[in-house]
Amino acid sequence: NPTPCPWSDDKHEVDKAAPESELSPVFAEPQRAKASIQATWTFHIMDNGGASGSNDLMAISMGPTDSGKVELRIHTGITSYALARKVVTGLTYQPSEWAFEVLSNSDILAINMGPTTNSGMTEVHILTAKSDYKKFALHTATALNLPDKRRGEWAFGLLKNNDLVAIRKGPSQTGRTELKILSSKDSYRTLVGQAVTALGSTDLSHGLWSFQVMKWRSNDLMAIKVGTGAEAGRVELRILTSKSNYGEFSSKLSEDSPVLLPLRGGGTGEFYFHVLPNGNLMSIRRESGKFTQQILTSQSNYGDFLKSK
């Protein structure tokens, strides 16, 4: 029997072996007339569903797009992520290194990592939800230098108070994954924290890693590794605790003893992960132009699927 997760308040029924046919289709990738360049997508859970877990899902197409702008597709959580609407934003597509996060008020934080910017620093641009993402509330340089691809790969996340976590995956001088925290109070111009984590390097030479801030659990950090090569089909989960300044793993989850996720499709396709406010973990898989999602419950320590209703 799976070990119940003691920090979860999730009361949903679970299904030990949800068949592939029960995976919910999110959407099919649109066919483009000029399909030589595949559009780049990222996904985010919006903070608009509360503890029910029925939060909307925002799919961001970073381009290239037919409109020449960054585009959104918003899928409603209360209707099993059916497409609600499409949005052409005010952000022009640029062949730069971008990352996106969704703030607690549903504004979009667009992070420009260069390779060059006007300020010479990593910059942020905020698209407002009230303008349907057509207008900006902020353009500013941050306290973070432009990432040097020769010196490391970066990922980002948001703490509960909207502070920005910059995750240096490696390589680094410490040989560990490192964090820098930028303050939302002064528009990310000030560094308010940093940490050398208990996790080794997580750059591409060490597998495909992604990170999720567990806002509902005191900003603990979830690290997920999708195996490649000889480890293909193996998906691992570890949790770093905020109370240790990310220097320790959650109980029973050491670097050498992760939770193995029973995801359908194993290591095939391209995976995106998101923690819902109720602690459940959503996995979105992209394969052959299709996106499907499945949800693992925190109550089962991510060993069981959420039962379809």
Range of the domain at 84: 39-149
| Closest listed residue to residue 283, CA positions, set 222, 240, 203 | 222
Q: What is the pLDDT at residue 201? A: 94
In a domain, 197, yes or no: no
Per-residue model confidence (pLDDT) at position 147: 83
* Residue among 166, 195, 196 at smallest CA distance from 182: 166
- Structural domains of the chain, count: 1
Q: What is the pLDDT of residue 292?
A: 84
Give a yes or no: residue 237 inside a domain.
no
Are 136 and 123 contacting, i.e. CB atoms less than 8 angstroms apart? no
**Average per-residue pLDDT for the chain:** 82
Res 152: pLDDT: 65
Concatenate the DSSP letters of all residues of the chain into one string: -PPP-TT------EETT--GGGSEEEEEPPP-SSTTSPPEEEEEE-S-SGGGT---EEEEEEE--TTSEEEEEEEEGGGTTEEEEEEEEEEEP-SS-EEEEE-TTS-EEEEE--S--SSSEEEEEEE-GGGTTSSEEEEEEEEEEPP-TTT-EEEEEE-TT-PEEEEEEE--TTSEEEEEEE-TTTTT-SEEEEEEEEEE--SGGG-EEEEEEEGGGTTEEEEEEE--GGGTT-EEEEEE-GGGTT-SBPTT--TTSPEEP--TTTT-SEEEEEE-TTS-EEEEEEETTEEEEEEE-GGGTT-SEEPP-
Instruction: Point out the residues of the chain with pLDDT beneath 70.
Output: 1-39, 49-54, 149-152, 252-254, 265-268, 307-309
Asked, for residue 53, whether it belongs to a domain, the answer is yes
Cα distance between residue 309 and residue 305, in whole Å: 12
For residue 176, the model assigns a pLDDT of 96
Domain presence at residue 66: yes
Q: Tell me what pLDDT residue 18 has.
A: 33
> Quick one: pLDDT at residue 53?
54
pLDDT value at position 289?
75
Complete DSSP assignment for 259-293: EEP--TTTT-SEEEEEE-TTS-EEEEEEETTEEEE
pLDDT at position 71: 96
**Domain contains 207:** no
192 found inside a domain: no
Instruction: Give domain status of residue 106, yes or no.
Output: yes
Q: What is the pLDDT of residue 185?
A: 96
Residue 124 belongs to a domain: yes
Cα–Cα dist 183/173, whole Å:
25
